[in-house]
Amino acid sequence: MKIVIIGSGNIATHIGKAFLHNGFEVVQVISRNKNHAKILAEKLNGEAETDFNKIAKADIYLIAVNDSQIENVVKKLNRFFEVKTLTTAARPLVIYTAASVSINVLENEKWNSGVLYPLQSLKKEVDADLKNVPFIISGKSKLIKEIATSISINVIEMNDAQRLALHVSAVFVNNFTNHLVAIAQEICEAEKIDFKLLQPLLKETFERLEKMPAAESQTGPAIRGDENTIQNHLRFFSNPTFKKVYKELTFSIQQNARFHSK
Amino acid sequence: MKIVIIGSGNIATHIGKAFLHNGFEVVQVISRNKNHAKILAEKLNGEAETDFNKIAKADIYLIAVNDSQIENVVKKLNRFFEVKTLTTAARPLVIYTAASVSINVLENEKWNSGVLYPLQSLKKEVDADLKNVPFIISGKSKLIKEIATSISINVIEMNDAQRLALHVSAVFVNNFTNHLVAIAQEICEAEKIDFKLLQPLLKETFERLEKMPAAESQTGPAIRGDENTIQNHLRFFSNPTFKKVYKELTFSIQQNARFHSK
């Protein structure tokens, strides 16, 4: 199976590597950024390309670009596959990796469409074993399932709505929790406090989340309704953005508790 | 050493138990809630009391009440210790456990003052080993350090300002991250998605935080500036509070990235 990878970011890198390790042939990496295309193409033993008019023939086209670029890439592919003479079985498979985009954006009689969304926070620079990462798939082609199961043992089919909800949840579980810890690290750095002091708390937080629903293990001034402490904390902030985050999360904890106690 | 514990909540329970295990005698638990006082007093082999006028004589008074009640408790103690005839060494030690309150609130010539703040999220219902929990202490009395080191191997002295900063950081690291996971769990429940799917992501998130600064491992639509995805996500929310949280955190991630790239 020959693959063209469109994109050279975090997801393109990790899925590209997984393809290579599973015996697929990555013939080309296309990216607007020449340097990034080169670096990834070298890793995947493919050719680097920046000009979409020189896109290679392949069985599978993997679109791993920013969500905002997907429609643009689809338009270009549409021009590239000029005629729709092929039977369903003979058509190439075009996949994108974006969780929040409807598969309707991709649907086209010139190719078979699929979504392949790895539910993990992937960084180019950090190695990842995708075998246990849940892969969310959509699309009618059987090939999409075969590809996913060749990479991961945890493959789940979902529709657009579920995939979107899952992506939003993932943003809360990973991106937002990570940012909150970044804020704590900034505060500690500014006050010359060793963040290591907070590592046991961080560990306990996570371990408790594995054992019980988060709503049941909520502690702190917000859930206690401890207005004195909340006011002391709000006076502490010099950064208005962090202060706003503190306010909104405190409000959300209190709203949610009220909702559940009704 | 005889101890009176004022309060019957999460911290009173855990520190009370630690006192008992370390050979202190808990003579009395005072709490406005009769039932809570009874339950804790029974665990600690002490007497339960709701009437502050019947407070017992002791060497140490531990105030573990809501921050908003501390001043009130101090006033009552002030009336109880009518005369200040004792020498510094003979005075009782009055401690509170609140991180965000200045030790000035407690200072009084009738007793020695101390702060004993365990840096951990403690729930009555969940057993905790306090030995490795960092205990933050303030106060001039040597006894406060002795007490802390009898409970924990990790005792650190801090002033009011540092303790407040540490508490704010702890709220971000524990209370707020926990709430974000609670939001994700609510979303999944509403959309009939098994939250177990997100457990590998949660695990990876925390494992990465142990290895590198959070700011370096930030991923997701906010840091990518992926406005399409952000708009798709904002359209998803039916709960206005969760939507606001999403907005504020996205803004904060982008502001922070801009600040650091300057």
Q: Is residue B211 domain-shared with residue B123, that is, in the same domain?
A: no
Note whether B166 contacts A202, CB cutoff 8 Å: no
- Average pLDDT, rounded, for chain B: 93
Whether residue B186 sits in one domain with residue B207: yes
Instruction: Count the neighbouring beta carbons within 10 Å of the beta carbon of residue B253.
Output: 26
For residues A49 and A92, membership in a common domain is answered with yes
- Residue whose C-alpha is closest to residue B147's, from B216, B232, B58: B58
| Same structural domain, B153 and B53 | yes
Output the pLDDT for position B262.
55
Taking contacts as CB-CB distances below 8 angstroms, the residues of chain B near A204 are: 120-121, 174
User: So what's the pLDDT on residue B85?
Assistant: 62
pLDDT in tens, A195-226: 999 999 999 999 999 999 999 989 999 998 98
Q: CB A219 to CB B165 under 8 A?
A: no
Average of pLDDT values for B209-221? 92
- B134 and B174 in a single domain? The answer is no
What are the residues facing A48 on neighbouring strands? A29
Query: Average pLDDT in the B173-184 region?
Result: 98
| Domain match, B125 and B19 both | yes
| Confidence (pLDDT) at A84 | 64
Among B162, B214, B245, beta carbon nearest to A181: B214
Tokens describing residue A211: 């054992």
User: Quick one: what percent of chain B has pLDDT higher than 70?
Assistant: 98
Helix locations, chain B, DSSP H: 10-21, 34-43, 67-80, 142-151, 160-170, 177-190, 199-211, 221-224, 227-236, 240-261
Of B158, B186, B203, the residue that ends a domain is B158
Question: Could you tell me if A215 and B195 are in contact, meaning their C-beta atoms sit under 8 angstroms apart?
Answer: no
Chain B closest-CA separation from residue A145 CA (Å): 18
Predicted confidence (pLDDT) per residue in A123-167, tens digit: 888 888 899 899 999 998 899 999 999 999 999 999 999 999 999
Check B175 against A101: CB less than 8 A apart: no
For residue B54, the model assigns a pLDDT of 93
Q: What is the mean pLDDT of residues B222-233?
A: 92
Q: How far is B100 from chain A (nearest CA, A)?
A: 6
> Above 70 in pLDDT, residue B83?
no
My answer on whether A76 and A127 are in the same domain is: yes
CA distance B170 to B158: 15
Confidence grade of residue B167 (pLDDT, cut at 50, 70, 90): very high
Domain residues for the domain of A109 are: 2-158
Give chain A's radius of gyration (CA, Å): 23
DSSP state of B69: H
Q: Provide the pLDDT for residue A123.
A: 85
Average pLDDT over residues B164-180: 97
Distance CA B166, CA B161 (A): 9
Contact B219 A175 (CB under 8 A): yes
Residues of A in contact with B168 (CB under 8 A): 184, 187, 233, 236-237, 246
Task: Report the distance separating Cα A30 and Cα A21, nearest Å.
Answer: 20
* CA atoms of A32 and A72, how far apart (whole Å): 12
Look at residues B108, B123, B158 and tell me which one is the last residue of a structural domain. Answer: B158
Q: Give yes or no: residues A77 and A181 share one domain.
A: no
What is the average per-residue pLDDT within A238-242?
96
pLDDT tens digits, A82-106: 766 667 777 899 999 999 999 999 9
B85, B29 in Cβ contact below 8 A? no
3-state helix, strand and coil shares in percent for chain B, rounded to the nearest 5:
55, 15, 30
Structure tokens at B209: 């935080």
